[in-house]
Amino acid sequence: MAIRVVMPKLSDTMTEGVVIQWHKHEGDRVESGDTLAEIETDKAVMDLEAFGSGTLRKILVPDQSTVPAGQLIAVIAAPDEDITPLLAEAGKAPQPTAQPTTPPSATPTPKPRGPTAQPPSDLATKPPAVEVKASPLARRMAEEAGLDLAMITPTGPGGRVVKEDVEQALAARKAAPAAAVPAYEARPMSQIRKTIARKMIQSKAPVPHFYVTNEIDMERALTMKAELADRQAPIKVTITDMIVRALAITLTRFSQFNASFQDDAIRYHQSIHIGVAGLIVPVIRDCQRKGLIQIAEEARLLFERAKTRRLQPDEYTGATFSLSNLGMEDVEHFSAIITPPEAAVLAIGKIAQRPVVVDGRVAVRRRMMTTISCDHRVVDGLQAAKFLQALKHELEEPTGLLLP
Amino acid sequence: MPELLYREALNQALREEMRRDPRIFLMGEEVGFYNGAFKVSKGLLDEFGVRRVIDTPITEAGFTGVGIGAALVGLRPIIEMMTFNFAILALDQIVNNAVKIRYMSGGQLAVPIVIRGPGGPSRQLGAQHSQSLESLFCHIAGLSVVAPATPRDAKGLLKSAIRQNNPIIFIEGQELYSTKGDVPDGDYTIPIGRAEIKREGTDVTVIAWSKMLLLALRAAEQLARDGISAEVIDLRTLKPVDYDTLLGSVRKTGRAVIVEEGWEFCGLGAQIATDLYRRAFDAFDAPVERVTGYDVPMPYARHLEQQALPTAERVIEAVKKTLYR
C-alpha cells in the first residue's frame, strides 16, 4: 500500500512550507520514523518523518521548493507497486514555486545575483523551469529590461504577468541606489521573515502604541551576578535572566500588563509567559512560579535550541509579555513593536557607565535604559510609569530576585 | 464654424458636388418630390430638376443596375437606398456587377458609383428594418465601405466618395441624422481610408464607428472619472481599415476594445482584432475585447431591443477587463 508524503500543516497559520533538503533519495529504503527531509515552516525548521516503511519511490518537489500545506511531495511504496494513480494526482496539484528561499543555515552565504534575477544556482539543485504565463506586452517589456518573468509577481487572471507587474518590478529596481552594480539583489524572503513582516503590520497599524522610558541603576544587580558566578551557582545567571525574574515579580503586581486586548474585553492572563525576543522568540512559561536559577536554566536551553531553530511550536508561542534586549549590541535605548495579542513589550538598552548624582556627589554608576511599549487600549501612561518604577526597584534592590 | 445637422451636412455635400460636376445625379425612392425619406435630398429637385434627381419605383435591384449602367457610360450616379436593409435586394448588382466590371474588363471600364443611405438599428422598427449590415459589404473584395459618425465627417467623406472612380458603400447613421456638429463652410474633403482619434488617451484604445462612436465617447467620459484614460478612435472608413492609426494607438495603450452595433460573428471587429494581433502581438497586455450587438434578429419589444444592443456600461466593463480591474 503506497504511502502519500505530504507537506504537513504544523500550525494554524501555516499555509505553505519549504522543503529545505531531502535526506533520502529516490530508491532508498525508509523505515517508519526515518527523517525524509528537512522542512521549514513559518516558525521553525523541522524534520519530516516517514509515517510508514517502504521504498522512497518518487520525490515530487526538489530541494528549496515552496509547497502548499497538504500537497503531495513524495511517495513511499513497495518497490514494484504501481504508483501512477498517485503521480497523476500530483500532476494536477499546483506546481511548487520555483523561487528558492534563502537557506536557513546559521551563516547564510548568498551568492551574488543580478537584479531580481534567478540565482545562478547549482544546476543539479535548480528547480525545473516553470512555464510563466505573461501577456505579450509584459513578456516584451521584461525582455527589454532584462527581467526574469519568473521572478515577477503576477496579478493577472490565472497568474498572468501583465504590464503593471513588470512596471512594479521596474519601479522596485529603480528605487535601489543607482551607483551600485547590481543595484540590489532581491532575495526571496524566508518563511520566518515573511511571518515577521506579516505580524509587525498586524501590530503597528492597528495597535495604538505609546512608550515610557526610565533608567535603572544596575550596580547592585551586576554585583549580585558576579557573586553568584563566584559561588559557582549551578548555572550561570545572566542579566536577561534577572530582568525576566524582575518582570515576573512586577507583572504579578501589575497584572494589567499581562493582558490582551480582544474585541470588546481585556483578558488578564493567569500565567506569566515571557517571550525573549530574537529572530525567533522563545517563551519562558509560568515565570510567576519559577525562581531565578530555574529561569536561567530554562532560558539557556531554549536559546541554544532557538539558535539552531529546533524549537517546538509550544516553545515559541503563547507569550503574555515580551522582552527585547539589544544591550549586547551597544544600543543606548530603543522602543520595540508589540507582538499581538500581548499588551506590552520591554526594550532593554546596554548597561553603561554614566555620571550620576548620588547623595549630592557625582559618581560613576553602571546604568541601563528601559523603554516599555504599551497598547494604549489596555493600559495608560501613568500605569506604565508605575510599572517601570516597580521594575526599577526590583533590579536596584535585587535581593528580592533570589527569594522564592 | 457653423453648426449643422448630420442630414444638413450630407445635403450640402450633395448640392455642392452636383453644382461642381453636371455628370452627377441622384436616384432612389422618394429622393425627389418627397425630399428624401430622411430629408437628406431636401431642395435638390428644385435646384437640379427631374433629370438629375430621379424618383424610382420600389425596385432596388433595378435602379442600382441602372446606376451601374449609367456609370459605365460616363455618368457619376449616387444611388440612395431608403435604408440599407433594402440594399440586400441589390446585392447581385453590387457584388457581381458594380465591383467586378473594372476587374473583368481588364481596366477598360470603371464604375464610379456611390450607394448611400441610412444603416444601423433604429428604435422599434422590427428585425427586418433594424440591423447593421456593414460587415456584409466589408466582406466583398473590391468594395470600399464608409460610415461617418459626425456631420463634419459626413460631408467631407461623401464628397470624397463621389469623387472617386470605384463603387463605394456609404452608410449613414439612421439615428445620427438629427445629431449636430461643426461643419466647415464650403468645399473640403476627408480622405477615404483614414481613421481619426476623436479623444486622446493612454490606457486603452476604443475603436468604434457610426453611432457607436457616440457610445464610446460617453463610456470614455465615464471612465475618465475612474481615472482611466481611453483613446477613442472613429474608424470612419470601414474598408480599407486605417491600420496605421489603430496600430499607433494600440502600441501606446497595449489594449483594445472594439465596439460594433452589428452581430458578433464574422463582424468587422473580429477582422480588426485578428489584424491587430498579427501586426502588433507584442503590444498587447490583454486580449482584445469586443462589444457587439447580440447574435439575434433585432427584437421589436423595447426592453428586449435595448438588451440586444451595446451599451456604455458594456463598453466600460470591457475596458476594465482589458485593464484587469
How many Å is the maximal CA-CA distance in chain B?
60
Domains B3-182 and B196-322 share a fold: yes
**Residue contact B282–A157, C-beta within 8 A:** no
From the candidates A269, A273, A333, A376, give the one annotated as an active-site residue.
A376
Determine contact: A139 vs chain B, CB below 8 A. yes
For chain A, domains (ranges, CATH) are 3-92 (2.40.50.100), 123-186 (4.10.320.10), 206-402 (3.30.559.10)
> Would you call B306 exposed, middle or buried from its count of C-beta atoms within 10 A (0-12, 13-18, 19+)?
exposed
Write down the pLDDT at residue B105. Answer: 97
C-alpha cell at A332: 543606548
Contact list, B284 vs chain A (CB under 8 Å): 135-137
Rounded to whole angstroms, how far apart are CA atoms B318 and B323?
A: 9
| Contact between residue B274 and residue B144 where contact means Cβ atoms under 8 Å apart | no
Condensed to tens digits (0 to 9), the pLDDT of residues A38-72 reads 888 777 788 888 888 889 998 988 888 888 888 88
Which one of A137, A140, A162, A167 makes the best mutation probe of the B interface by having the most chain B beta carbons within 10 Å? A137
Q: Where are the beta strands (DSSP E) in A130-273?
A: 209-217, 259-262, 265-268
- Taking CB atoms and an 8 Å cutoff, what residues of chain B touch A135? 254, 284-286
The interface predicted TM-score (ipTM) is: 0.74
* The pLDDT of residue A181 is above 60: no
Q: How far is A138 from chain B (nearest CA, A)?
A: 6
Residue B207 DSSP symbol: E
Which of B254, B283, B324 is opposite residue A156, by nearest beta carbon? B324
B196-322, CATH topology level: Rossmann fold (3.40.50)
Q: Which residues contact A113 (CB under 8 A, 6 or more apart)?
A: A119, A120, A182, A185, A186, A187
Can you tell me which residue has the cell 448611400? B116
Domain B3-182 - what CATH class? Answer: alpha beta
pLDDT in tens, A275-302: 998 767 899 999 999 999 899 999 998 9
Integer-rounded Cα radius of gyration of chain A: 26
What burial letters (b/e) apply to A38-70, b meaning 16+ CB within 10 Å? bbbbbbbbbebebeeebbbbbbbbbbbbbbbee
Half-sphere exposure of A382 (CA within 13 A, CB side): 0
Residue A179, strand partner residues: none
Element (H, E) at A30: strand A29-30
pLDDT at A96: 54
Question: Could you tell me if residue B230 is left (phi over 0), alpha (psi between -120 and 50 degrees) or otherwise beta?
Answer: beta
Q: What is the separation of C-alpha A238 from the centre of its chain, rounded to a whole number of angstroms?
A: 23
* Owner of C-alpha cell 497523476: A88
pLDDT tens for A296-342 read 999 998 988 888 778 887 888 889 999 999 988 889 999 999 988 89
| Domain boundaries of chain B, sorted by first residue | 3-182, 196-322
**Cβ of A138 and B285 within 8 Å?**
yes
User: What crossing angle do the helices spanning A219-230 and A239-253 adopt, rounded to 10°?
Assistant: 120
Distance from C-alpha of A23 to C-alpha of A34, rounded to nearest angstrom: 9
- Chain A residues with CB under 8 Å of B281 CB are 136
Element (H, E) at A139: helix A136-145
Answer whether residue B57 shows pLDDT above 70.
Answer: yes
Instruction: Judge contact between A30 and A101, C-beta under 8 A.
Output: no
Residue A111 pLDDT more than 70?
no
